[in-house]
């Protein structure tokens, strides 16, 4: 049991939180690309990204896994994003620190979504059952290139209010 929930229920809660994170991240990213103020969607994105990271650490851990590594890196990125937003108020260098760290945290969530999709969705799993096959690498490469492009554009377009 985790937080009074069965492992299955807790997993569903964690997945729902993760999907909300990704949806809110897409909207927050779109606002950055449009040069609009971050507003509420950014707060939803950051809150649910923190919840995703924290709930990920609540699963039973017996050995260090890549998922734990991703969680640690995500926590560092989130700490930077939150510092840039709340301490630096997105002024000066804090703007690009925020954009880079928030988009990196968003990327990590999408990266995990792709990993989980290839593990859990039958048709995808047939193409890459171990996650080391070319179709998996191609999809992850496309996702990475897409986020690099998003980051470049967001850095050019987003200006804090």
pLDDT digits (tens, 9 = 90+) for 91-135: 999 999 999 999 999 999 999 999 999 999 999 999 999 999 999
pLDDT at residue 37, rounded to an integer: 81
Taking only the tens place, the pLDDT of each residue in 40-70 is: 989 999 999 999 999 999 999 899 999 999 9
pLDDT at residue 161, rounded to an integer: 60
Between CA 85 and CA 100, with CA 25 as vertex, the angle to 5 degrees is: 50
Domain-wise residue ranges, the chain:
7-157
Helices (H) and strands (E) in the chain, counts: 6, 0
Q: What pTM, to 2 d.p., does this model score?
A: 0.94
> Phi-psi bin for 36: left (phi > 0), alpha (psi -120 to 50), beta?
beta
Beta-bridge mates of residue 5: 2
Burial class (CB in 10 A: 0-12, 13-18, 19+), 87: exposed
Q: Is the CB of residue 113 less than 8 Å from the CB of residue 20? A: no
Angle between helices 7-33 and 93-120 (to 10 degrees): 140
d(CA 67, CA 23): 21
């Amino acid at each position: 049991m985790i937080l009074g929930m069965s492992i299955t229920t807790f997993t569903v809660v964690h997945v729902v939180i993760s999907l909300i994170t990704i949806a809110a991240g897409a909207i927050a990213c779109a606002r950055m690309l449009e040069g609009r103020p971050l507003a509420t969607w950014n707060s939803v994105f950051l809150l649910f990204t923190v919840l995703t990271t924290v709930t990920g650490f609540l699963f039973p851990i017996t050995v260090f896994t890549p998922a734990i590594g991703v969680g640690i890196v995500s926590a560092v990125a989130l700490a930077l994003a939150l510092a840039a937003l709340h301490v630096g108020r997105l002024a000066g260098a804090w703007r690009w620190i925020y954009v880079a760290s928030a988009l990196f945290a968003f990327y990590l969530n999408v990266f995990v979504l792709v990993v989980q999709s290839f593990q859990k969705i039958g048709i995808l799993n047939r193409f890459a059952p171990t996650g080391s096959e070319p179709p998996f690498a191609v999809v992850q490469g496309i996702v990475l290139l897409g986020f690099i492009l998003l980051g470049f554009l967001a850095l050019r377009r987003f200006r804090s209010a």
